[in-house]
Amino acid sequence: MTKRALITGITGQDGSYLAEFLLSQGYEVFGLVRRTSTVNFNRIEHIQDQITLIPGDMLDQTSLQLALQQCEPQEVYNLAAQSFVQTSWTQPVFTGDVTALGVTRLLDAIRHVDPAIRFYQASSSEMFGKVREVPQRETTPFYPRSPYGVAKVYGHWITINYRESYNLHATSGILFNHESPRRGIEFVTRKVTYNVAKIKLGMADEIRLGNLDSRRDWGFAGDYVRAMWLMLQQDEPDDYVISTGQTHAVQELVEVAFDYVGLDWHDYVKQDPRFMRPAEVDLLVGDSSKAGKQLGWEPQVSFEELIHMMIDADLKILQAGERA
Protein backbone atom coordinates (compact mmCIF):
# COMPACT_ATOMS: atom_id res chain seq x y z
CA MET A 1 0.00 0.00 0.00
CA THR A 2 1.33 3.46 -0.90
CA LYS A 3 2.15 5.45 2.24
CA ARG A 4 0.91 9.03 2.52
CA ALA A 5 2.89 11.79 4.25
CA LEU A 6 1.93 15.38 5.06
CA ILE A 7 4.76 17.93 5.27
CA THR A 8 4.20 21.34 6.86
CA GLY A 9 6.80 23.84 5.66
CA ILE A 10 7.12 22.09 2.29
CA THR A 11 8.10 25.37 0.57
CA GLY A 12 11.13 25.71 2.87
CA GLN A 13 14.64 24.31 2.50
CA ASP A 14 14.03 21.07 4.42
CA GLY A 15 10.48 20.62 3.15
CA SER A 16 11.67 20.54 -0.44
CA TYR A 17 14.43 17.97 0.23
CA LEU A 18 12.12 15.83 2.36
CA ALA A 19 9.42 15.85 -0.34
CA GLU A 20 11.99 14.67 -2.91
CA PHE A 21 13.22 11.97 -0.54
CA LEU A 22 9.72 10.65 0.29
CA LEU A 23 8.80 10.58 -3.42
CA SER A 24 11.93 8.50 -4.04
CA GLN A 25 10.67 6.08 -1.34
CA GLY A 26 7.33 5.69 -3.16
CA TYR A 27 5.23 7.92 -0.87
CA GLU A 28 2.25 9.99 -1.89
CA VAL A 29 3.33 13.43 -0.67
CA PHE A 30 1.07 16.25 0.55
CA GLY A 31 2.29 19.69 1.55
CA LEU A 32 0.59 22.32 3.69
CA VAL A 33 1.01 25.79 2.19
CA ARG A 34 -0.13 29.10 3.63
CA ARG A 35 -1.79 31.76 1.56
CA THR A 36 0.60 34.47 0.34
CA SER A 37 -0.06 37.28 -2.15
CA THR A 38 2.96 36.17 -4.18
CA VAL A 39 3.53 32.49 -4.91
CA ASN A 40 6.83 31.22 -3.46
CA PHE A 41 7.06 27.67 -4.75
CA ASN A 42 10.53 28.03 -6.30
CA ARG A 43 12.05 25.24 -4.14
CA ILE A 44 9.33 22.74 -5.14
CA GLU A 45 8.35 23.78 -8.65
CA HIS A 46 10.45 20.92 -10.15
CA ILE A 47 8.28 18.35 -8.28
CA GLN A 48 4.98 20.21 -8.17
CA ASP A 49 3.25 17.79 -10.54
CA GLN A 50 4.16 14.88 -8.23
CA ILE A 51 2.84 16.32 -4.95
CA THR A 52 -0.49 17.67 -3.67
CA LEU A 53 -0.55 21.06 -1.99
CA ILE A 54 -3.21 21.74 0.65
CA PRO A 55 -3.99 25.26 1.88
CA GLY A 56 -3.53 25.76 5.61
CA ASP A 57 -1.71 27.73 8.26
CA MET A 58 -0.06 26.78 11.55
CA LEU A 59 -2.01 29.66 13.10
CA ASP A 60 -5.36 28.15 12.10
CA GLN A 61 -6.52 25.04 13.93
CA THR A 62 -9.42 24.28 11.59
CA SER A 63 -7.20 24.31 8.53
CA LEU A 64 -4.85 21.76 10.13
CA GLN A 65 -7.72 19.46 10.98
CA LEU A 66 -9.14 19.74 7.45
CA ALA A 67 -5.71 19.03 5.92
CA LEU A 68 -5.39 15.81 7.93
CA GLN A 69 -8.91 14.74 7.00
CA GLN A 70 -8.20 15.43 3.33
CA CYS A 71 -4.94 13.53 2.94
CA GLU A 72 -5.31 10.83 5.64
CA PRO A 73 -1.54 10.53 6.18
CA GLN A 74 0.31 7.79 8.04
CA GLU A 75 3.15 10.25 8.75
CA VAL A 76 3.22 14.00 9.47
CA TYR A 77 6.46 16.00 9.36
CA ASN A 78 6.09 19.36 11.12
CA LEU A 79 8.75 21.57 9.54
CA ALA A 80 6.76 24.83 9.46
CA ALA A 81 8.21 27.59 11.63
CA GLN A 82 9.30 31.20 11.78
CA SER A 83 12.83 29.82 11.59
CA PHE A 84 15.10 32.88 11.43
CA VAL A 85 16.60 33.50 14.87
CA GLN A 86 17.29 37.25 14.36
CA THR A 87 13.65 37.91 13.40
CA SER A 88 12.47 36.24 16.59
CA TRP A 89 13.62 39.28 18.60
CA THR A 90 11.59 41.71 16.48
CA GLN A 91 8.57 39.36 16.14
CA PRO A 92 8.64 37.36 19.39
CA VAL A 93 4.87 36.88 19.75
CA PHE A 94 4.42 35.77 16.13
CA THR A 95 7.40 33.43 16.48
CA GLY A 96 5.85 31.89 19.59
CA ASP A 97 2.47 31.53 17.92
CA VAL A 98 3.79 29.69 14.84
CA THR A 99 6.88 27.90 16.16
CA ALA A 100 5.59 26.94 19.62
CA LEU A 101 1.77 26.93 19.71
CA GLY A 102 1.57 25.74 16.10
CA VAL A 103 2.99 22.41 17.30
CA THR A 104 0.17 22.01 19.83
CA ARG A 105 -2.43 22.86 17.20
CA LEU A 106 -1.09 20.15 14.90
CA LEU A 107 -0.67 17.54 17.63
CA ASP A 108 -4.18 18.18 18.86
CA ALA A 109 -5.56 17.89 15.33
CA ILE A 110 -3.75 14.53 14.99
CA ARG A 111 -5.14 13.33 18.31
CA HIS A 112 -8.67 14.02 17.15
CA VAL A 113 -8.44 13.00 13.48
CA ASP A 114 -6.28 9.85 13.76
CA PRO A 115 -4.06 9.14 16.79
CA ALA A 116 -2.25 6.39 14.84
CA ILE A 117 -0.49 9.04 12.70
CA ARG A 118 3.27 9.16 13.27
CA PHE A 119 4.51 12.70 14.00
CA TYR A 120 7.94 14.31 13.51
CA GLN A 121 8.75 17.63 15.23
CA ALA A 122 11.59 19.78 13.85
CA SER A 123 13.39 20.62 17.08
CA SER A 124 16.63 22.56 17.05
CA SER A 125 20.12 22.76 18.52
CA GLU A 126 19.19 26.40 19.31
CA MET A 127 17.46 24.90 22.37
CA PHE A 128 20.92 24.21 23.87
CA GLY A 129 21.81 27.92 23.59
CA LYS A 130 24.27 28.78 26.34
CA VAL A 131 25.49 25.23 26.33
CA ARG A 132 25.59 23.21 29.57
CA GLU A 133 27.69 20.43 28.05
CA VAL A 134 30.07 19.88 25.11
CA PRO A 135 29.21 18.12 22.85
CA GLN A 136 25.42 18.41 23.16
CA ARG A 137 23.32 15.24 23.20
CA GLU A 138 19.70 14.21 23.85
CA THR A 139 20.13 14.51 27.63
CA THR A 140 21.90 17.90 27.67
CA PRO A 141 19.78 20.50 29.54
CA PHE A 142 18.34 23.34 27.45
CA TYR A 143 19.25 27.04 27.89
CA PRO A 144 17.71 28.86 24.89
CA ARG A 145 19.07 32.31 24.02
CA SER A 146 16.39 33.72 21.68
CA PRO A 147 12.60 33.85 21.45
CA TYR A 148 13.02 31.30 18.64
CA GLY A 149 14.99 28.96 20.91
CA VAL A 150 12.40 29.35 23.67
CA ALA A 151 9.60 28.55 21.20
CA LYS A 152 11.45 25.43 20.03
CA VAL A 153 11.85 24.23 23.64
CA TYR A 154 8.07 24.50 23.99
CA GLY A 155 7.54 22.58 20.73
CA HIS A 156 9.96 19.88 21.91
CA TRP A 157 8.28 19.38 25.27
CA ILE A 158 4.71 19.48 23.96
CA THR A 159 5.72 16.72 21.53
CA ILE A 160 6.99 14.60 24.44
CA ASN A 161 3.91 15.52 26.47
CA TYR A 162 1.51 14.33 23.74
CA ARG A 163 3.56 11.15 23.38
CA GLU A 164 3.24 10.46 27.11
CA SER A 165 -0.32 11.75 27.59
CA TYR A 166 -2.00 10.22 24.54
CA ASN A 167 0.45 7.51 23.49
CA LEU A 168 1.08 9.22 20.13
CA HIS A 169 4.03 8.09 17.99
CA ALA A 170 5.51 11.60 18.36
CA THR A 171 9.23 12.04 17.78
CA SER A 172 11.49 15.06 18.15
CA GLY A 173 14.58 15.44 15.97
CA ILE A 174 17.08 17.86 17.54
CA LEU A 175 18.82 18.94 14.37
CA PHE A 176 21.98 21.04 14.30
CA ASN A 177 22.41 23.66 11.56
CA HIS A 178 22.02 22.22 8.08
CA GLU A 179 22.49 24.09 4.86
CA SER A 180 22.28 23.68 1.09
CA PRO A 181 22.03 25.66 -2.13
CA ARG A 182 18.32 26.05 -1.16
CA ARG A 183 19.10 27.75 2.17
CA GLY A 184 17.35 31.09 2.72
CA ILE A 185 19.57 34.01 1.72
CA GLU A 186 19.38 35.56 5.22
CA PHE A 187 21.20 32.67 6.96
CA VAL A 188 24.94 33.15 7.34
CA THR A 189 26.18 30.27 5.13
CA ARG A 190 24.06 31.25 2.13
CA LYS A 191 24.65 34.96 2.73
CA VAL A 192 28.38 34.25 2.51
CA THR A 193 28.29 31.86 -0.47
CA TYR A 194 25.91 34.05 -2.48
CA ASN A 195 27.93 37.20 -1.86
CA VAL A 196 31.27 35.48 -2.45
CA ALA A 197 29.91 34.34 -5.82
CA LYS A 198 28.77 37.91 -6.54
CA ILE A 199 32.19 39.30 -5.62
CA LYS A 200 33.92 36.68 -7.78
CA LEU A 201 31.74 37.75 -10.74
CA GLY A 202 32.39 41.45 -10.12
CA MET A 203 28.77 42.09 -9.03
CA ALA A 204 29.58 43.15 -5.41
CA ASP A 205 32.59 44.40 -3.49
CA GLU A 206 31.88 43.58 0.19
CA ILE A 207 29.97 41.39 2.64
CA ARG A 208 28.62 42.86 5.89
CA LEU A 209 28.46 40.33 8.72
CA GLY A 210 27.89 40.24 12.48
CA ASN A 211 29.68 37.96 14.94
CA LEU A 212 32.54 36.04 13.30
CA ASP A 213 33.45 34.10 16.46
CA SER A 214 30.34 32.00 17.05
CA ARG A 215 30.73 28.33 16.20
CA ARG A 216 28.22 26.03 14.54
CA ASP A 217 27.99 22.34 13.64
CA TRP A 218 27.02 22.67 9.96
CA GLY A 219 25.78 19.73 7.88
CA PHE A 220 24.02 19.17 4.54
CA ALA A 221 20.20 19.40 4.55
CA GLY A 222 19.89 16.47 2.11
CA ASP A 223 21.54 14.19 4.69
CA TYR A 224 19.37 15.49 7.52
CA VAL A 225 15.94 14.84 5.93
CA ARG A 226 16.89 11.17 5.61
CA ALA A 227 17.30 11.12 9.40
CA MET A 228 13.78 12.56 9.85
CA TRP A 229 12.32 9.69 7.85
CA LEU A 230 14.41 7.05 9.67
CA MET A 231 13.06 8.35 12.99
CA LEU A 232 9.45 7.71 11.94
CA GLN A 233 10.29 4.15 10.78
CA GLN A 234 11.24 3.11 14.34
CA ASP A 235 8.78 1.00 16.37
CA GLU A 236 8.93 3.44 19.28
CA PRO A 237 8.93 7.26 19.20
CA ASP A 238 12.01 8.91 20.73
CA ASP A 239 14.28 11.98 20.55
CA TYR A 240 17.46 12.10 18.46
CA VAL A 241 20.32 14.56 17.98
CA ILE A 242 21.39 14.90 14.33
CA SER A 243 24.76 16.58 13.77
CA THR A 244 28.18 16.12 12.19
CA GLY A 245 30.21 16.34 15.42
CA GLN A 246 32.44 19.02 13.83
CA THR A 247 32.27 22.70 14.77
CA HIS A 248 33.52 25.72 12.81
CA ALA A 249 33.61 29.46 13.54
CA VAL A 250 31.77 31.83 11.18
CA GLN A 251 35.23 33.17 10.30
CA GLU A 252 36.31 29.70 9.11
CA LEU A 253 33.22 29.58 6.91
CA VAL A 254 34.30 32.90 5.41
CA GLU A 255 37.87 31.66 4.90
CA VAL A 256 36.79 28.42 3.19
CA ALA A 257 34.41 30.33 0.90
CA PHE A 258 36.89 32.99 -0.20
CA ASP A 259 39.73 30.45 -0.55
CA TYR A 260 37.58 28.42 -2.95
CA VAL A 261 37.30 31.35 -5.39
CA GLY A 262 40.93 32.42 -4.89
CA LEU A 263 40.28 35.66 -2.96
CA ASP A 264 41.43 37.01 0.43
CA TRP A 265 38.45 37.55 2.77
CA HIS A 266 40.18 40.42 4.62
CA ASP A 267 39.69 42.57 1.51
CA TYR A 268 35.89 42.14 1.44
CA VAL A 269 34.37 41.32 4.85
CA LYS A 270 33.16 44.17 7.06
CA GLN A 271 31.66 43.75 10.51
CA ASP A 272 28.33 45.49 10.96
CA PRO A 273 26.58 45.88 14.35
CA ARG A 274 23.19 45.49 12.63
CA PHE A 275 23.88 41.77 12.34
CA MET A 276 24.92 41.25 15.98
CA ARG A 277 22.34 39.56 18.22
CA PRO A 278 21.04 40.67 21.65
CA ALA A 279 22.13 37.26 23.00
CA GLU A 280 24.37 34.86 21.10
CA VAL A 281 24.76 31.09 20.98
CA ASP A 282 28.55 30.86 21.06
CA LEU A 283 29.24 27.17 20.48
CA LEU A 284 27.23 24.32 19.05
CA VAL A 285 28.61 20.85 18.43
CA GLY A 286 26.46 17.76 18.54
CA ASP A 287 26.93 14.14 19.53
CA SER A 288 24.69 12.09 17.22
CA SER A 289 26.00 8.68 18.31
CA LYS A 290 22.47 7.60 19.38
CA ALA A 291 21.21 8.24 15.82
CA GLY A 292 24.28 6.38 14.51
CA LYS A 293 23.53 3.32 16.64
CA GLN A 294 19.71 3.21 16.52
CA LEU A 295 18.97 4.67 13.08
CA GLY A 296 22.18 3.75 11.27
CA TRP A 297 22.42 7.43 10.25
CA GLU A 298 25.72 9.15 9.42
CA PRO A 299 26.32 12.46 7.61
CA GLN A 300 27.75 12.10 4.08
CA VAL A 301 28.85 15.63 3.14
CA SER A 302 31.80 17.43 4.80
CA PHE A 303 31.82 21.12 5.76
CA GLU A 304 34.18 22.05 2.90
CA GLU A 305 32.16 20.04 0.34
CA LEU A 306 29.01 21.79 1.53
CA ILE A 307 30.41 25.30 1.16
CA HIS A 308 31.92 24.48 -2.24
CA MET A 309 28.59 22.98 -3.41
CA MET A 310 26.77 26.16 -2.32
CA ILE A 311 29.24 28.49 -4.07
CA ASP A 312 29.08 26.45 -7.28
CA ALA A 313 25.28 26.66 -7.20
CA ASP A 314 25.31 30.41 -6.52
CA LEU A 315 27.78 31.06 -9.35
CA LYS A 316 25.41 29.20 -11.71
CA ILE A 317 22.35 31.11 -10.48
CA LEU A 318 24.07 34.47 -10.89
CA GLN A 319 25.51 33.62 -14.30
CA ALA A 320 22.05 32.53 -15.49
CA GLY A 321 20.46 35.71 -14.10
CA GLU A 322 18.07 33.64 -11.95
CA ARG A 323 16.53 34.47 -8.56
CA ALA A 324 18.52 33.57 -5.40
Binding interface with ligand NAP (CB under 6 A): 8-9, 11-15, 32, 34, 36, 40, 57-59, 79-83, 98, 122, 124, 175, 177-178, 184
| Sign (positive or negative) of CA dihedral 3, 31, 192, 90 | negative
Class of residue 100 by CB neighbours under 10 A (exposed 0-12, middle 13-18, buried 19+): buried
Q: How far is the CB of 208 from ligand NAP (least distance, A)?
A: 22
Residue tagged active-site, from 17, 77, 120, 148:
148
Interacting partner of 122 out of ligand NAP, ligand G4F, none (Cβ under 5 to 8 A depending on kind): ligand NAP
Interacting partner of 214 out of ligand G4F, ligand NAP, none (Cβ under 5 to 8 A depending on kind): ligand G4F
**How far apart, in whole angstroms, are the C-alpha atoms of residue 81 and residue 297?**
25
Interacting partner of 36 out of ligand NAP, ligand G4F, none (Cβ under 5 to 8 A depending on kind): ligand NAP
- For the chain, helix (H) and strand (E) counts, in that order, are 11, 13
Interacting partner of 210 out of ligand G4F, ligand NAP, none (Cβ under 5 to 8 A depending on kind): ligand G4F
For residue 4, CA distances in Å to 24, 33, 67 come to 13, 17, 12
Residue tagged active-site, from 27, 126, 162, 194:
126
Are 82 and 94 in contact by the 8 Å Cβ rule? The answer is: yes
**How far apart, in whole angstroms, are the C-alpha atoms of residue 197 and residue 202?**
9
Q: Is 124 a catalytic residue?
A: yes
Interaction site with ligand G4F (CB under 6 A): 83, 85-86, 124-126, 176-177, 186-188, 191, 209-211, 214, 216, 250, 275, 277, 280-281, 284
Q: Is 125 a catalytic residue?
A: no
Residue 135, preceding peptide bond in cis (omega within 30° of 0): yes
Q: Is 126 a catalytic residue?
A: yes
Which residues participate in catalysis according to the annotation?
A: 124, 126, 148
